Amino acid sequence: TGGLTMKFIILVISFLMIGCTNIRNNTPSTPKETVKTYYDNGNMESKIIYVGNKKNGKMTSYFENGKIAAKGFFKDDKRDKKWIFYNEKNGKIFSVEKYMDGKLNGEQVYYHENGKLKVRGNYTNGVRSGFWEMFDEDGKLEVQNIFIDGENIISIAIYQKNGKLLCNGNVINQLRQGEWKYFDEKGNIAYIVNYEKGIRNGAWHAFDRDGDLLMSGIYRNGRIVGIDIEE
């Protein structure tokens, strides 16, 4: 009887162990699925990976004509990592953006329709920061900006078609502020003008093509109130 009882106990324990093992192995994890949407013409609109009820993983979207529109990555319903956007007309890359926690973060690059670089710069937590450059359709530099204190202060340099500097200075709250320098077509200094909240205010100087001072004066609320001519 004792032997039978012991066998029965062993069988019960074995059954419980097997049962527990099966329960562990068959416990469903958070479901992962690819959700596809379509346009009325039958072409695919988007393909996104969901984990649970949130977008988590790769995504691809398409234009109605079937061409690819964008490729990217989601993390908990927010854009993350690198996203690539395409031009609907020619299929070339329109922009490459980087995200973190749903905000633009890191280097961003944008292109003209001909594929040449248009804009390049950095974002930090959704705000432009540091050095930015803008180029024309021929690839020539047009504008250089340095963003300081978020987007509150911007150091700007604007270039001529020949590549020479046209003017530079600072902008605060989208208004020119402080000293701005202007240059001729050869890149020689032509004027120095001071601004206050976008209005010429304070000392100004004009120079000849050799860089020698021609005249100077004072602006007050946008009007010249005095001129000194160099002899």
Q: What is the helix (H) or strand (E) element at residue 6, kind and residue range? A: helix 2-25
Distances 27 to 15, 24, 173 between C-alpha atoms, Å = 18, 6, 57
Cα 52 off chain centre by = 29
What's the CA gap between 186 and 193, in Å, rounded? Answer: 19
Q: Which of 99, 63, 57 shows the shortest CA–CA distance to 81?
A: 99
pTM of this structure: 0.78
Cα–Cα distance list, 173 to 102, 149, 154, 157, 170 (Å)? 26, 11, 9, 17, 10
For 121-180, the pLDDT digits (tens) are 999 999 999 999 999 999 999 999 999 887 888 999 999 999 999 999 999 988 999 999
Give per-residue pLDDT as tens, 31-64. 899 999 999 999 999 999 999 899 999 999 999 9
DSSP 116: -
Backbone angles phi, psi at 162, to 5 degrees: -85, 5
For 87-120, what is each residue's pLDDT tens digit?
A: 999 999 999 999 999 999 999 999 999 999 999 9
Q: Mapping DSSP to helix (H, G, I), strand (E, B) and coil, where does residue 86 land?
A: strand
